Amino acid sequence: MAYNREKPYNDLPLLPPDSSVFESIAVYKKLSQARAALAELKGRLSIIPNPNMLINTLVLQEAKDSSEIENIFTTSDKMYRAFTSNRKNMDPATKEVISYRDALCTK
């Protein structure tokens, strides 16, 4: 079937999806592996000198990747330098990514 942007696709399945879609042996196996990996990380967290750095790198990467969707590009190097410095001499794209990161971390 060829895509036609002028015609809506009204044959979408109803939500929520049937439980057979996500309640399967394959999904439960992956869930078990993910749970074991998180438990291992939690067990090793006490030996990491600053556990927040692990979280910060993930949040910064998320901010960088999400900003690219909006055509805002920066390098990881610029991003990490801006995050660890006084943030005064940043280019606009890096400043936007850091602001996005700050918004993600706001409680």
Task: Note the pLDDT of residue 31.
Answer: 95
Phi, psi (deg, nearest 5) at residue 92: -60, -40
**pTM of the shown model:** 0.54
Task: Note the pLDDT of residue 1.
Answer: 58
The verdict on 39 and 55 lying in the same domain is: no
Cα-trace Rg, the chain: 21
Task: Note the pLDDT of residue 28.
Answer: 94
Mean pLDDT, range 6-29, rounded to an integer: 84
| Residue 95 maps to a domain | yes
| Residue 12 maps to a domain | no
Task: Note the pLDDT of residue 19.
Answer: 85
| Residue 81 maps to a domain | yes
The verdict on 41 and 53 lying in the same domain is: no
Per residue in 21-75, pLDDT (tens digit) is 788 899 999 999 999 999 998 999 889 888 888 888 888 888 888 888 888 988 8
Q: What does the chain come to in residues?
A: 107
| Residue 74 maps to a domain | yes
CB 58 within 8 Å of CB 78: no
Query: Cα(68)–Cα(73) distance, rounded to whole angstroms?
Result: 5
